[in-house]
Amino acid sequence: MEKEADTARRRFLARATGAIAGMVVAPGVILQQVARAKPADEPVTSAQRWGMLIDTNKCQKGCDACVQGCVKENNIRSHYGPATDSQWIRKVEVRDRNSGHSFSLPMMCQHCAHPPCADVCPTGASFRRADGIVLVDRHICIGCRYCMMACPYKARSFVHEDIGPEEHVPWVPRGKGTVEACTLCVQRVDRDGANAVPACAEACAADGHDAFVFGDLNDPNSRISQELAKHGATEIRADLGLDLGIRYRGI
């Protein structure tokens, strides 16, 4: 009897919370949908090409806010040490041997237009979405790791251990024996369109550095396109001709 009352109270509380949250969030969501996002049942198209511009002049040495943002968003935990843990984004310190000039930058999947990982993948599990995001279909990845051999940026990680139920978040399918990497926070991109902010960029901005600009490389009016047009940027290992979605300034 007491239990029933308890259940009813819980149900009431849950509904009430849901309703209040709905009232608060709905206008924003609806407005956003009208303005930008595509309905979930529509396929992505090549009308957009999502990318990021990272200003290494704003990137602080020793700061790993972006890494922490990614880890939190995708719930990536450490298991058996850095050699086998997944790292979707990492901070790389670079130093010129001759001049001693040094800088720091975040390194992750570069979302190539011609991704070597997708080229070598035997099953097609590694693929590039029409909007430029490079992903791994965790349902058909057989764990051969050839993509990791092929990636020039060491952007991918192999899941070396069991992922416990407490580690799963709904938007990140993960599993032992498959390969994973930065998804450009595809769950946010699909929800918010051009207004999306990947978790790394969000964390960097929250920390006051604001080194990341996310946006549509195909839209000449987007902030990223305008900044690229104005200041230019560099692709890492541009000699490989992979046409990267991630560009850097100040390197």
Partner 1 sequence: MKKVNYRELVEIGRSYWGFLAIVGFFILLGLGAAYYMESNGHHVTGMSNQVVWGTPHVFAVFLIVAASGILNVASIGSVFRKGPYKPLARMSGLFAIALLVGGLAVLVLDLGRPDRLIVAMTHYNFKSIFAWNIFLYTGFMVIVAIYLWTMMDPVVNRFKAYAGFFAFLWRLILTTGTGLIFGFLISRDAYGTAIMAPMFIASSFSFGMAIFLLALFAIMRSTGRPLGDVLVRRLKNVLGIFIGGAFYFVVAYHLMNLYATSHHDVERFILLDGGVYTRIFWIGQILLGTFVPLAMLYHPTLGRSRGAIATASVLVVLGGLAQMYVIIIGGQVFPIPLFRGMEVSSSFFDGVVAHYAPSLPEVLLGFSGMALAVALSVVAMRVLRFVPESLADEVVDPHAAAAVAAETAGEEETGAAEAA
Among 32, 56, 58, 145, binds partner 1 (CB under 8 A): 145
128 versus 188: smaller Cβ distance to partner 1:
128
Q: Kindly report the number of other CB atoms within 10 A of residue 246's CB atom.
A: 24
Q: How far apart are CA 171 and CA 237, in angstroms?
A: 31
Q: Return the range that interacts with partner 1 (CB under 8 A); candidates 25-33, 144-152, 209-217, 219-227.
A: 144-152
Q: Does residue 118 interact with partner 1 by CB under 8 A?
A: yes
Closest to 235 (Cα-Cα) out of 246, 250, 226, 224: 246
Closest to 171 (Cα-Cα) out of 155, 158, 184, 153: 184
Among 16, 29, 119, 168, binds partner 1 (CB under 8 A): 119
Among 12, 130, 162, 238, binds partner 1 (CB under 8 A): 162
Closest to 189 (Cα-Cα) out of 69, 18, 32: 32
Q: Does residue 141 interact with partner 1 by CB under 8 A?
A: yes
Q: Does residue 113 interact with partner 1 by CB under 8 A?
A: no
Q: Return the range that interacts with partner 1 (CB under 8 A); candidates 12-20, 49-57, 92-100, 201-209.
A: 92-100
Could you list the beta-strand ranges (E) of 21-84: 50-55
Closest to 64 (Cα-Cα) out of 106, 33, 28: 106
Q: Does residue 165 interact with partner 1 by CB under 8 A?
A: no
Q: Does residue 110 interact with partner 1 by CB under 8 A?
A: no
Q: How far apart are CA 200 and CA 66, in angstroms?
A: 4
Q: Does residue 111 interact with partner 1 by CB under 8 A?
A: no
Among 4, 41, 42, 96, binds partner 1 (CB under 8 A): 96
35 versus 142: smaller Cβ distance to partner 1:
142
Under 8 Å between Cβ of 239 and 251? no
Measure Cα distances from 114 to 47, 50, 126, 183 in Å. 17, 14, 12, 16
Q: Does residue 30 interact with partner 1 by CB under 8 A?
A: no
Q: Does residue 95 interact with partner 1 by CB under 8 A?
A: yes
Helix or strand run (H / E) with residue 179 = strand 179-180
In terms of DSSP bridges, do strands 179-180 and 157-158 run parallel, antiparallel, or are they unpaired? antiparallel
Q: Does residue 247 interact with partner 1 by CB under 8 A?
A: no
Which residues of this chain interact with partner 1, rule CB under 8 A?
79-80, 82-87, 90-98, 107, 116, 118-125, 140-146, 148-154, 156-162, 176-179, 236-237, 240, 251
